[in-house]
Chain A
């Protein structure tokens, strides 16, 4: 450390390596006919010329290699460059294609789960333990709250949320699962916040400022007199919130 700082007194560091992630369009090829590729790629580019102009691009040959269809990497690169796109990588190529790409100054991206070189070992069946994972998630613990949730307070539950007191106006309760409020619900209640459309909200007295299930929401103004101050359940049906008495 001391030597570093001594060096730094003489000259500050001119460079530094940092890791970064970029979002780059990937061109997945389904045909090796370069004429058709050029034609269709040109059509795509014309849809949004400003977006594609000088855009970096990675081309993906996995689909072709699955079917053992050969393509000339040099020709493909030429077409891409002609359309003002900048190829910055190859993915899913065979050893030979990768070598061709490197000679053209195009780096190789590993990508996909399988190694790029082994063209035959594709479409691995999903690991069996993956099937059990959702069950583990749905077993997330239930959060129980016995005191009033006051204005300005925020409660987040990873599973279901049960509140045995009131939720004041200006309070916010969120759950990845269902929400039960055995008291007046005057604040904001958001169930299924990670997109669980089967989540429901149950409350014994609906006066909420906002209710939401998986992002579909209604504000207090949308609640009509027949459901206000009533014990209700709220659920999602065809992307619409349904409020029904219990």
Chain B
């Protein structure tokens, strides 16, 4: 049975698209046929992060309007043949999306794909609403700072009251917390909320912590999902997250600060 995952946050710039790209690639690499959809109509980014911006012919809105078939618009990833990307339209706005249109496309994708990742735009307006409406699972991407946590909380409220599952009284959307741009050093200095702080406020199952990492920016600029950079801490964090989502037991990493040379030599706890 196909599962629809929405990657959402409320707040902008917390790493939704980076996470969507990484998770989609991670699931596909594990052999699951995966599609990732960019719901940010008008501010198309996912194709850049996935490195397929030069192969976009048709987009999401074309398919909704019946100007192209789904197969014409889906772009096969060059790194993994189990992964397909449905880019957003850059020349339109969110009003070009309709609930019926989105529902029809997702139904069609469900026949073919195991996982469908919906990369939500920021905000709580139409684009974000449609991205989460049909979801089975939600990945809430949150930065360890108060405004991001507040916006995530708001988004959780919308997930539990305005989604299809909520409206039809089905089991609620499964919600997972992804804490991104985490920096244990800054937590220790009191400049950032800790994992415990965020979990206390949101009371949500933690799927993983993604450390603040230079590799994320360079991966984005290169158009290669950071999960493929197996040496980077962020890449490893996303690999852990995918494994945990698929049911593997993995201890949480990147929560405590890195030990310096002395720490390593004289062994801590």
A contacts, CB < 8 Å to B: 147-153, 165-166, 168-171, 184, 186
> Are the CB atoms of A166 and B154 closer together than 8 Å?
no
Q: B143-167 toward A: CB 8 Å interface, digit per residue (1/0)?
A: 0000000110110111011000000
Q: A148-B203, A165-B203 are in contact. Are A171 and B157 (CB under 8 A)?
A: yes
**Which residue, of A152, A153, A171, has the highest number of chain B Cβ atoms within 10 A?**
A152
Main DSSP-derived SS at the B contact region: helix
- In the assembled complex, the Cα of A165 lies from the Cα of B150 at a distance in Å of 17
27 CB contacts below 8 A, A to B, read A147-B160, A147-B172, A148-B156, A149-B157, A150-B153, A150-B156, A150-B157, A150-B160, A151-B150, A151-B151, A151-B154, A151-B157, A152-B154, A152-B157, A152-B158, A153-B157, A153-B161, A165-B203, A166-B203, A168-B157, A169-B150, A169-B201, A170-B153, A170-B154, A171-B157, A184-B200, A186-B201
B contacts, CB < 8 Å to A: 150-151, 153-154, 156-158, 160-161, 172, 200-201, 203
- In the assembled complex, the Cα of A109 lies from the Cα of B195 at a distance in Å of 71
Residues of A within 8 A of B154 (CB): 150-152, 170
A149-B157, A151-B151, A152-B153 given; 20 more Cβ-contact pairs under 8 Å: A147-B160, A147-B172, A150-B153, A150-B154, A150-B156, A150-B157, A150-B158, A151-B150, A151-B154, A152-B154, A152-B157, A153-B157, A153-B161, A168-B157, A169-B150, A169-B153, A169-B201, A171-B157, A184-B200, A186-B201
**Closest residue of B by beta carbon distance from A148:** B203
- In the assembled complex, the Cα of A170 lies from the Cα of B154 at a distance in Å of 8
- In the assembled complex, the Cα of A150 lies from the Cα of B161 at a distance in Å of 10
**Closest residue of A by beta carbon distance from B201:** A168
Residues of B within 8 A of A168 (CB): 153, 157, 201
Residues of B within 8 A of A147 (CB): 160, 172
**Closest residue of A by beta carbon distance from B124:** A152
Residues of B within 8 A of A186 (CB): 201
Residues of B within 8 A of A149 (CB): 157
**Closest residue of B by beta carbon distance from A149:** B157
Residues of A within 8 A of B156 (CB): 148, 150
> Are the CB atoms of A170 and B161 closer together than 8 Å?
no
> Are the CB atoms of B160 and A170 closer together than 8 Å?
no
**Which residue, of A147, A148, A168, A169, has the highest number of chain B Cβ atoms within 10 A?**
A168
- In the assembled complex, the Cα of A150 lies from the Cα of B202 at a distance in Å of 9
- In the assembled complex, the Cα of A168 lies from the Cα of B200 at a distance in Å of 10
- In the assembled complex, the Cα of A171 lies from the Cα of B157 at a distance in Å of 9
**Closest residue of B by beta carbon distance from A187:** B153
Query: Which of A148, A170, A184 is in CB contact (< 8 Å) with B150?
Result: A170
- In the assembled complex, the Cα of A169 lies from the Cα of B200 at a distance in Å of 12
